A and B are shown apart, each in its own frame.
Chain A
Amino acid sequence: MEFNSVAEFLAMGHHGLYIWLSYGLTAVIIAFNVAQPLLRRRRLLKEQAQRLRREKKHAPQA
């Protein structure tokens, strides 16, 4: 291992700010990209299931 302590690891030899800022911003963008399709799928399934139920209710009874 390259570092002897957690503090040394976080400091990254005076480059800590640059490294953790890079990794932090990337994590935010990645998290957004994961959440977006998952949330859209949930909303889509819910809305379309509702639409189906509504259409069935209003359909003429045979």
Chain B
Amino acid sequence: MSDALCFGGGVKTQLIAVVVMWQWLKQLYHRLGSPKWFYEITTGWIPWLAVLSVVGTVVGLVMGLLYAPADYLQGNSFRIIYIHVPAALLAQSAFMMMAVAGAVYLIWRMKMAAWVAKVIAPVGASFCLIALLTGAIWGKPTWGTWWVWDARLTSMLLLLFLYFGVMALQQAMESEDSAYRAGAILSLVGLVNIPIIKYSVEWWNTLHQPATLKLTEKPSMHPDMLIPLLIMIVTTYVFFALLIILRTRNEILWHERKRSWVKQILES
């Protein structure tokens, strides 16, 4: 680098930097698009992700269920937060990731992106269902009702139906390509719902309490309650990564079953 600076001055260095970066991006794109590369690199990740998921869950739940103090208003029922909030956050993040993967497939026709979008849908829907169920159960002792049609709950239910819609489209069509494209388009349209979920507790007068965690503000929660929540949130994302990798590897095995590298795996 310093040689280039002395030799040709600024413009040439910048040109080299741009070329290097372009090559790097091209390489990254080709690798991400290569099912074989993805399959091989993730083989070693699986045990680590599994161990992290189990350890994080055990530590987070022991801290949250046994050591966190009871809430002064809600009593012990607030302990549902340790599954409700991580599941709700993940359900929204997963939808956004699914839409991004869908967009990558629509624009660049990358097969891997379509498979990732396809495997995210049922997992995201599962976490959305967990958020809705635990929210309803939490609502009973807190609000006196399992369900109200308020903005937060309704937009979260809509998220679940959007997931179901994307899953149906991904499997509906004769050709896989048009099925993936239809699913991608619905997930991109469904993105509109994400800010609605986020701001529903501010825009409308809802029963649902406002956000417990805000990136821009100091948390109002006691550290003994907050730390297990943060552990559970991080663990949920790690566990999600594990599930997506496991499912994507299955898609790869199925779609690439006639390739020689998969045949080698089958014969071993």
Contact = CB atoms under 8 A, between A and B. Distances in A.
User: Are A and B interaction partners?
Assistant: yes
15 contacts: A2-B66, A2-B67, A2-B70, A13-B70, A13-B75, A18-B77, A18-B137, A22-B83, A22-B133, A26-B134, A29-B126, A33-B122, A33-B123, A45-B266, A48-B253
B223 interface: no
B80 A18 contact: yes
A49 B243 contact: no
Interface residues of B, number: 38
A49 B262 CA distance: 10
Interface of A: 1-3, 9, 12-16, 18-19, 21-23, 25-26, 29-30, 32-34, 37-38, 40-41, 44-45, 48-49, 51-52
B66 A25 contact: no
A30 to B, nearest CB: 8
Interface of B: 65-70, 75-77, 79-80, 83-84, 87, 122-123, 126, 129-130, 133-134, 137-138, 140-141, 243, 246-247, 249-250, 253-254, 257, 262-263, 265-267
Nearest to B267: A52
Contacts of A40: 250
B66 A9 contact: yes
A60 B167 CA distance: 42
